[in-house]
Amino acid sequence: MEHFISVNDIHSLKQAVNLAREIKQNRFGFRHTGKNKTMVLLFFNSSLRTRLSTQKAAMNLGMNTIVLNVGEESWQLETETGVVMDGDKPEHLREAIPVIGSYCDIIGVRAFARLQDRNEDYSEMILTQFVELAGVPVVSLEGATRHPLQSYADLVTIEELRKTEKPRVVLTWAPHPKALPQAVANSFVEWMSKTGYQLVVTHPEGYELAPEFLGDVQVEYDQKKAFEGADFIYAKNWSSYNQYGQVLSRDRNWMVDAEKMARTNQAKFMHCLPVRRNMVVSDEVIDGPDSVVIQQAANREVTAQAVLKMMLESL
């Protein structure tokens, strides 16, 4: 594996799931793989799970890790090309990236969508520059359009829990006070489309995902209908793609609650976290016996370790 930006960087999902499960049974069995190797994790945005799980994954492989919060602990970095740098950003990405690359063997980068210019976000302006200039493999710690480490953990979690060959997996939009990126939803759809699962996406009108991610996945605008017979409910808020970055609905009726979960086939409740309680999901559901959000988060460590192991082995 050279870089890890999307599902297309994984040759076989089946092998990837098996590797993660093997690692889960034997986290410290590959401690030699990352000896004397260093990973830098660079955050342009906040993180809890990604930061801790990826760092832990690297340490399990014997790697050294350096974490840097851009702007707070380093110079503010200019990311636009061709600008006159007379503002508050003293250093450009084009120098920062190769410099960081010279100190490490793998770079992880988190750079969320800014939700201002759709073309800019969907061109993955920041991640693309890292791939171009780093000189070392790049791991997306959530880009503008995808969150592949999350989707990989989601897939492993579903594989651990599914009771049928082709479970009904429902991605539901849910209300939120802020405009959020489409990355988690895009990526989830992108990964799930490569499985044999029955995937359904439900959201209010105007929240259609980008066609390049949605493909021919079924969209059901009636959330209650979508929940019928579901084996997994994956809740996530995202802002509009068509009216880019806008919040078109704050309808609290879209929150996942016990009444809606009762329509499912005793579905497991999933969310990538962080989650706004009683906006996205009721306390009763997230605290209930079918909530698997902690297992899902715990799987972030093993899937990050699988990615780093594959990368180290092809250095």
Q: How many residues does the chain have?
A: 315
The residues, ordered by sequence, that sit 6+ positions from 194 with a Cβ below 8 Å of its Cβ are 7, 13
Q: Least distance from C-beta 207 to ligand SN0, angstroms?
A: 14
- Which SS3 state, helix, strand or coil, does residue 81 take? coil
Q: Is the CB of 33 or the CB of 47 nearer to ligand SN0? A: 47
- Which SS3 state, helix, strand or coil, does residue 98 take? helix
Amino acid at 168: R
Q: Least distance from C-beta 262 to ligand SN0, angstroms?
A: 27
Q: Which of 1, 44, 3, 10 is nearest to 134 (CA)?
A: 3
Q: Which of 257, 274, 263, 219 is nearest to 241 (CA)?
A: 219
Q: Is the CB of 183 or the CB of 226 nearer to ligand SN0? A: 183
Q: Is the CB of 227 or the CB of 238 nearer to ligand SN0? A: 238
Report the distance separating Cα 173 and Cα 235, nearest Å: 6
Report the distance separating Cα 190 and Cα 124, nearest Å: 16
Q: Rule CB under 6 A: which residues touch ligand SN0? A: 147, 178, 180-181, 183-184, 272, 274, 276
Report the distance separating Cα 88 and Cα 123, nearest Å: 25
Q: Least distance from C-beta 273 to ligand SN0, angstroms?
A: 7
Q: Is the CB of 147 or the CB of 203 nearer to ligand SN0? A: 147
- Which SS3 state, helix, strand or coil, does residue 159 take? helix
Q: Least distance from C-beta 180 to ligand SN0, angstroms?
A: 4
Q: Are 304 and 57 in contact (CB under 8 A)?
A: yes
Q: Least distance from C-beta 92 to ligand SN0, angstroms?
A: 26
Q: Is the CB of 135 or the CB of 274 nearer to ligand SN0? A: 274
> What's the per-residue H, E or C state across 250-307?
CCHHHCECHHHHCCCCCCEEECCCCCCECCCECHHHHCCCCECHHHHHHHHHHHHHHH
Q: Is the CB of 163 or the CB of 178 nearer to ligand SN0? A: 178
Q: Least distance from C-beta 178 to ligand SN0, angstroms?
A: 5
Q: Is the CB of 180 or the CB of 311 nearer to ligand SN0? A: 180
Q: Is the CB of 33 or the CB of 55 nearer to ligand SN0? A: 55
User: Nearest residue to ligand SN0, using CB?
Assistant: 180
Q: Least distance from C-beta 94 to ligand SN0, angstroms?
A: 26
DSSP 8-state class, residue 198: E
The structure tokens 């390049």 sit at: 212
Q: Least distance from C-beta 188 to ligand SN0, angstroms?
A: 11
